[in-house]
Amino acid sequence: MIDQLFEMLDAVESVFWTYGGAPALFIFGFYLSYKSRFFQIRQFPEVIKIFKAFATEKQDDSSRGVSPIYAFFTSVGGCIGVGNIVSVCIAVKLGGPGAVFWMWIAAILGMLVKYGEIYLGVKFRIKNNENSYTGGPMIFLQHVPGGKILSRIAAVLICLYGIELYIFRTVTESLSVGWNLNEYAVIFMLLFLVVGIGQGGVKIVGRLCAVIIPVFLVGYTSMGMWVLISNAAKMPAMLYSIFAHAFSAHAAIGAFVGTSSNVMLSVRHGVQRACYTGDIGVGYASVVHAETKEAVPAKQAIFGIIDIFLDSFIVCTMSLFLILLTDTWHQNISENIMVVQALSQYFSFAYAVWPLFIFLLGYSTLIAFFAAGRRSATFLSPRYGAQIFVVLAACSFILFSFVGTSNHCLSMMSIVGASLLMINLYGLFFLRNEISFDLRSHK
């Protein structure tokens, strides 16, 4: 019975992304790109300048809201996580090298979708009793047709998305197997750390992620660059394979399945993993960034572009290049160890430190999502929402640590993500004229 239920979930996930999430992202992402004259590319140097100004500015905790840079690190803590080095490998494993190309396209278009989410989150946010703000889809959707119902549906879905089952299970399995720790002890230790820190809100989570993420980026990209430089001669062939297989038949998992269906497989998995790892369209970033003390929506919204750049074009691309250059993606091994298997060919200590990498990344994502889910729960029920969410999260984390597989958990998260993407794109469409791409007043 349980196996049949999970098979049905896999089928629903495929339908949601093939006929809903992927086409919707392409259409609206291209519309925003055309409307803004490809703002995400044309104004990228200016975006970097504004980001550097925020990063070097003295932090002030005296006014309402949180520091813009702490909101950014909470958001990027949700982006840069286990998905960048584990679940993203599924895209190539099932969709072939061409999935990398479609991940890049989805990321470029998704930059403006995320920009729009954050912009509307800040613009329509409301003050709350915690000396902060409440914003996100549950607030800006109230300004579109059918918004009263959709805002509550979105809030419920963000609560579910805030309980990141796939990453929780991946972290516990990695620590218990990699370091031979008691599985039950790991589950309850991680649960305590997530609930304890996650309830501190964006300010606490942002400060913690501001330490974890830079440490990971330096360590991972340094190791990855060594492997890429060592395989520089293979780079042209790998890049050719990515672009060639993006538009032609390639059976990633064995038998030839036909050109059109296999290209669609590459498109679907590329877009799906870009949205999952970059949190494109799910509204999570909108909830987090809405708590900023920054009053100008466009200045905060540019962080969404930085989010996707770091997520898709630095970490995800590094992971996929590693498994393609070392041919690890062809090996009959779990996606959980594809990247570490590639790194272990050049670093003998890779397997020993891998559980630590997984823990740091997974933990930053878990607490970031937990904070957003808790905020959405408080919107649904100001009095009891936070308590109900904590209990629901704890029970779900424990239950799904033993029921099904990690891929089943990923399917559930992916279905919720696709649902949020389509709801939020509906809201972005009706509020498209409220989104400004003018940075002239922000210099």
The domain locations on the chain are 2-435
For residue 236, name the pLDDT band (cuts at 50, 70, 90). Answer: very high
Q: CB of 280 within 8 A of CB of 308?
A: yes
Distance CA 85, CA 356 (A): 13
Lowest model confidence (mean pLDDT) among 42-46, 56-60, 163-167, 238-242 = 56-60
Lowest model confidence (mean pLDDT) among 91-95, 307-311, 375-379 = 91-95
Strand, helix or coil at 135? Answer: coil
Three-state secondary structure of 204-246? HHHHHHHHHHHHHHHHHHHHHHHHHHHCHHHHHHHHHHHHHHC
Q: What are phi and psi of 237, to 5 degrees?
A: -65, -40
- Tokens for 142, please give them: 């109230």
Q: pLDDT for 5-28, tens place per residue?
A: 666 767 777 777 777 777 888 889
Q: CB of 371 within 8 A of CB of 202?
A: yes
Q: What Rg do the C-alpha atoms of the chain give, in angstroms?
A: 20
Q: pLDDT for 57-84, tens place per residue?
A: 766 665 678 888 888 888 888 778 787 8
| Other C-beta atoms lying within 10 Å of the C-beta of residue 438 | 10
**Any bridge partners for residue 234, and if so which?**
none
Q: pLDDT for 306-331, tens place per residue?
A: 999 998 899 999 999 999 999 898 88
Give the per-residue pLDDT at 3. Answer: 62
- Tokens for 396, please give them: 């779900």
The one-letter code for the residue type at 298 is: A
Q: CB of 163 within 8 A of CB of 154?
A: no
Residue 112 host element (H or E): helix 98-123
Distance CA 203, CA 209 (A): 10
| Residue reference for tokens 């259409």 | 27
Give 133's DSSP letter: E
For residue 50, name the pLDDT band (cuts at 50, 70, 90). Answer: confident
Distance CA 350, CA 28 (A): 41
| Residue reference for tokens 């001669």 | 233
**Any bridge partners for residue 442, and if so which?**
none
- Tokens for 82, please give them: 């286990």
The one-letter code for the residue type at 129 is: N
The tally of CA atoms less than 13 A away on the side-chain side of residue 285 is 39
The one-letter code for the residue type at 239 is: L
For strands 126-127 and 133-134, give the pairing.
antiparallel
Between 429 and 259, where is the model more confident?
429
> Span 2-435: which CATH code?
1.20.1740.10
Distance CA 382, CA 291 (A): 17
Q: How many residues does the chain have?
A: 443
Q: CB of 202 within 8 A of CB of 291?
A: yes
Between 198 and 90, where is the model more confident?
90
| Other C-beta atoms lying within 10 Å of the C-beta of residue 433 | 7
Q: What are phi and psi of 68, to 5 degrees?
A: -55, -35
The one-letter code for the residue type at 26 is: F
Of 220, 20, 16, 27, nearest in space to 105 by CA:
27
Q: CB of 141 within 8 A of CB of 150?
A: yes
Q: CB of 98 within 8 A of CB of 246?
A: yes
